[in-house]
Structure 1
Amino acid sequence: MSKPIRVAVIGAGAFGKNHARVYSELHRETQAGTLPQGTPGVELVGIVDSDTARAAQIAATHETRAYASIRELLAHGGADAVSIAVPTKFHRNVAREALEAGFDVLIEKPLAATLEEADEIIDLAAEHRRIAQVGHLERFNPAVRATIPLITKPMFFEIHRLSLFGPRALDVDVVLDLMIHDIDIILSFVAGEVVEVRAVGLPVLSQKVDIASVRLQFANGCIANLTASRVSTERVRKLRFFQPNQYVSIDYARQDVLVFTVNKMAQHTPNDGGLPQMPDVMPSKPPVVPEEPLRSEILSFLQAVQTRETPVVSLEDGRRALAVALEIQKAIEEHAERAHLDALTK
């Protein structure tokens, strides 16, 4: 058996805690010999955060060491791979230091704060020949994975992602916090580029946009309507799309897929009123094996680290989603100016 992959988590906030938990679980499974066959072994070697008290608390929970910096981690033996779960504005600098230290990296979404920073990370990963993956979690949702074989030509999306307000991820707006998940999924489902963006958004409980409604049009004619809110009274995470002869509904939270397919081959006779009958619509539910998306994401990353193959969600994928998200932000700003919303929200 190959040696376990030594991993560390950089950032001890809400996202970092979850990464540490999953790595710790995989560490224990490695020690117990209960990992699924073919899964790389894992050793959780540390938690890195400038808030040393917070890092120490999480490290103690998972029986590993706390470090105040990547430099300190390196001084005590380093790691093979790291999860970067710091605020978005620090992604570029932390990724640069990690890549230059020789670590493979899993970077939480969004990839960076700007396209220039994203390009720098892409160039650094190529220069240092490191595996680098972006944490677009919903790619690893079992319901999304079960939907991929069904895709033919999606032409219309209706997506809602609503969450309760909380203190996490307030360094970015709702587009980069929540909507970017669905942007990435749409881009992975639809062939072609986004050619038009219309959007409106408002800050409600924070200083940044907390609720947004967006309409994307693709070069092939596909339309996607997205709503994201982090000030809702309920939690909703649903994606629906229509393609020729088929309607598909995904519930991210329930990890459930429902498909309605029109049977064009069915024979129909007029009803008693002389009107044609409705075509046969066949409902079905593809099999979905429940699994925590973060665990699947991390296992996929570790597999790429072991095989040195391109990750499922590449840096280029992360950049593409970021580019669309930034276009949406621009459209929201332009709408706010046209509607004179600045004076109303001050």
Structure 2
Amino acid sequence: MISSSSERDRPLRVGVVGVGYFGRFHAAKYAALEGCALTAVVDIDIERARTVAEPYGCPAYDQLEEVFGQVDALSIATPTSTHFEVARICLENGIHVLVEKPMTSSLQQAEALVALADARGMLLQVGHQERFFAAQVGLAGMASAPTDIYCERLGPFTGRSLDCSVVTDLMIHDIDLAQSLVRTQITGLIGLGTPSVTEFPDEADVTLYYANGCTVRLVASRASEGRSRRTRIMQADGTIDIDFLARTCSHSRLGAIEPQLPYVNGSISGRRALINDNLGQELAAFIDVLRHGGKPMVTGEDGRRALETALMIEQHMNIVVPDQRAAGAHG
């Protein structure tokens, strides 16, 4: 991606657009990563941009156009409804992009970004972080032929991502992970969504049926008292359990249970992590592809495919509002 030797020798100039709840973490990780320099923090709230940028000695901006020619790549962590326009402008102006999930609001927008990145020879990576821990534990090698997958992603209300449902906010992580393992067509789905704190479904329970016979159940809530991020994968040779919060993985195979593999000091099964958290690994991988070429772990097409399934779920799942549910119970 970075062609000349002089460009490869210098630190990559990176920045973040949108430094609300999540974007500030991008800035902190970039500032800590070798091989890149945090060069720009952009937010429509200039005081917020300055607050995030100041500890790193980084310039702050409130207009995206001000960083043209100043950065090689940007993370986009703005509200979902703005992802397409911000990413489009960046790609058209020669800036490589890592866009947070969901990559866009509509499938047509996602397809347009993928086509634009391909036409311009630009890197477009999508922020599905769980893929990186899954790769570190070697999930693809263990999960050779899943028959059933269960994913649970629960958390309390944070007041962010108010412009989308829990499906595109949280569940989409597990949609992407499941689809990286089950690469066949969806033949059916059933699902239930419930708004509880926003106008969109904040809780959802969905089952997807795939052409190869695999069944994927996805449970997500952003209005839960506790937090849980776990996946269970069942197949003929055993069961794989991953706890993304505890960062553990166990594989029971033919009655013999392999020990849980804690991933706490940057190594597991002899492999070393770039940074011992999903976001750090994701950004390090983004920088590595920019420097050395290759294919990102989560491509624009992967993000488009996950979004397509998420939007299909939103379109076809049944929505029950709390008052209706209570009325039904008393009816």
TM-score, normalization by structure 2: 0.89
Report the Cα offset of residue 81 of structure 1: 0.6
**Aligned to 2:141, what secondary structure does the other structure show?**
helix
Report the Cα offset of residue 326 of structure 1: 0.5
Q: 1:258 aligns with which of 243, 250, 255?
A: 250
The reply to whether residue 72 of structure 1 matches residue 79 of structure 2 is: no
**Aligned to 1:17, what secondary structure does the other structure show?**
helix
Which residue of the partner structure matches residue 46 of structure 1?
40
Check whether the contact 1:200–1:331 (CA below 8 A) recurs between aligned residues.
Answer: no
CA distance in 1, matches of 2:258, 2:115: 45
TM-score, normalization by structure 1: 0.85
CA distance in 2, matches of 1:285, 1:58: 41
Q: 2:54 aligns with which of 60, 64, 68?
A: 60
Check whether the contact 1:197–1:327 (CA below 8 A) recurs between aligned residues.
Answer: no
Which residue of the partner structure matches residue 21 of structure 1?
28
Which residue of the partner structure matches residue 11 of structure 2?
4
**Aligned to 1:43, what secondary structure does the other structure show?**
strand
Q: 2:174 aligns with which of 179, 182, 193?
A: 182
Check whether the contact 1:143–1:255 (CA below 8 A) recurs between aligned residues.
Answer: no
CA distance in 2, matches of 1:143, 1:238: 15
**Aligned to 1:105, what secondary structure does the other structure show?**
strand
Which residue of the partner structure matches residue 292 of structure 1?
277
Q: 1:159 aligns with which of 124, 145, 151?
A: 151
CA distance in 2, matches of 1:285, 1:331: 40
Report the Cα offset of residue 144 of structure 1: 6.1
Q: 1:207 aligns with which of 177, 199, 211?
A: 199
Any residues of structure 2 matched to 1:1-346 within 5 Å, and which? Answer: 2-26=9-33, 30=34, 41-74=35-68, 77-141=69-133, 145-262=137-254, 281-285=255-259, 287=261, 289-290=263-264, 291-332=276-317, 335-336=318-319, 344=324
Check whether the contact 1:109–1:135 (CA below 8 A) recurs between aligned residues.
Answer: yes
Amino acid at match of 2:29: V
CA RMSD of aligned residues (A): 1.7
Check whether the contact 1:162–1:237 (CA below 8 A) recurs between aligned residues.
Answer: yes
User: Deviations 1:213-241 (Å, cap 9, x if unpaired)?
Assistant: 00000000000111100111110111001
CA distance in 1, matches of 2:263, 2:98: 24
CA distance in 1, matches of 2:260, 2:124: 31
Report the Cα offset of residue 178 of structure 1: 0.5
CA distance in 2, matches of 1:312, 1:155: 24
CA distance in 1, matches of 2:58, 2:174: 35
Check whether the contact 1:137–1:293 (CA below 8 A) recurs between aligned residues.
Answer: yes
**Aligned to 1:79, what secondary structure does the other structure show?**
coil
Report the Cα offset of residue 62 of structure 1: 2.0
CA distance in 2, matches of 1:261, 1:142: 18
**Aligned to 1:14, what secondary structure does the other structure show?**
coil
Q: Which runs of 5+ in 1 are unaligned?
A: 31-40, 263-280
Q: Relative to 1, partners in 2 of residues 1:342 and 1:231: Cα closer, same or farther, differing over 3 Å?
A: closer
**Aligned to 1:133, what secondary structure does the other structure show?**
strand
CA distance in 2, matches of 1:252, 1:305: 27
- Deviation larger for 166-175 or 313-322: 166-175
CA distance in 2, matches of 1:142, 1:19: 20
Report the Cα offset of residue 285 of structure 1: 2.9
CA distance in 1, matches of 2:232, 2:135: 12
Q: Relative to 1, partners in 2 of residues 1:343 and 1:292: Cα closer, same or farther, differing over 3 Å?
A: closer
User: Deviations 1:71-94 (Å, cap 9, x if unpaired)?
Assistant: 1112xx420111011111101100
CA distance in 2, matches of 1:198, 1:139: 25
Q: Number of aligned pairs?
A: 307
Instruction: Determine what percentage of the aligned residue pairs are the same residue.
Output: 36
User: Deviations 1:143-189 (Å, cap 9, x if unpaired)?
Assistant: 76432221221001122111011111122110011100000000011
Amino acid at match of 1:344: Q
CA distance in 1, matches of 2:88, 2:139: 35
User: Deviations 1:115-136 (Å, cap 9, x if unpaired)?
Assistant: 0000111111112110110000
Amino acid at match of 2:20: G
Check whether the contact 1:146–1:288 (CA below 8 A) recurs between aligned residues.
Answer: no
Report the Cα offset of residue 286 of structure 1: 6.3
Amino acid at match of 2:38: L
Q: Relative to 1, partners in 2 of residues 1:103 and 1:145: Cα closer, same or farther, differing over 3 Å?
A: farther
